[in-house]
Amino acid sequence: MTMAEGDRLRFRPARPADHGACAEIFLAARMWANPDIPADRFAIEDFNLSTDDLEILVAERGGLVVGFVGLDRAQRELSHLFVSPLEQGRGVGALLLAEAGRILGPGAHLLCDAQNSSVREFYRAQGWVEARESWGFVEFVRPMPAACRSLLPWAARCSPSEPARMACCHPQGLI
């Protein structure tokens, strides 16, 4: 294997053997992002409870899991995008978000902490749109490409002058 092949990022569904690596990334990233919270407040059980009903997609580099994202295809919801603190700033999060968005399609959505300005900026920079804010969370949605809007009869109801509505309008109404 060449250095370029070993450094390449690959996405795949999580396997049972990935549980430990994903849980470690989950805990390490949460501790890194919340240095004011004592480390003993974070537990593997948090990971288990948070991801139990999700399909997990992992990012792997050189055979090691370096990040993951949880998907709920039925709800078109992306949840728990986590990257190893050692891999942050290398594009793993952006590529995981893009892959999750590709899988879930236009209208996919996610929630983030309204107080986390750096994460909000990250999602905006990746082209996701803030749809609404409530109870301390911001909902982001993946916009529908303009080319697709003209092909879908229900999309005509969505106002292009309101980015949040345009981003999350679908046959079941506003999500």
Same domain, 35 and 79: yes
Same domain, 59 and 115: no
pTM of the model: 0.79
Residue 24 has pLDDT above 90, yes or no: yes
Domain boundary among 42, 77, 104: 104
The mean of the pLDDT values for the chain is 84
Domain range for residue 145? Answer: 105-175
Q: What is the pLDDT of residues 64-76, one digit of tens each?
A: 999 999 999 999 9
What secondary structure does DSSP assign to 159-173, as a single string?
A: -TT-HHHHHHEETTE
Average pLDDT on 116-132 reads 94
Same domain, 82 and 110: no
User: How far, in Å, CA of 169 to CA of 54, rounded?
Assistant: 24
Q: What is the pLDDT of residues 29-65, one digit of tens each?
A: 888 888 888 988 989 899 999 999 999 999 999 999 9
User: Structural domain tally of the chain?
Assistant: 2
Same domain, 131 and 66: no
Same domain, 147 and 90: no
The percentage of the chain sitting over the pLDDT mark of 70, rounded to a whole number, equals 79
**How many CA atoms within 13 Å lie on the side-chain side of 159?**
4
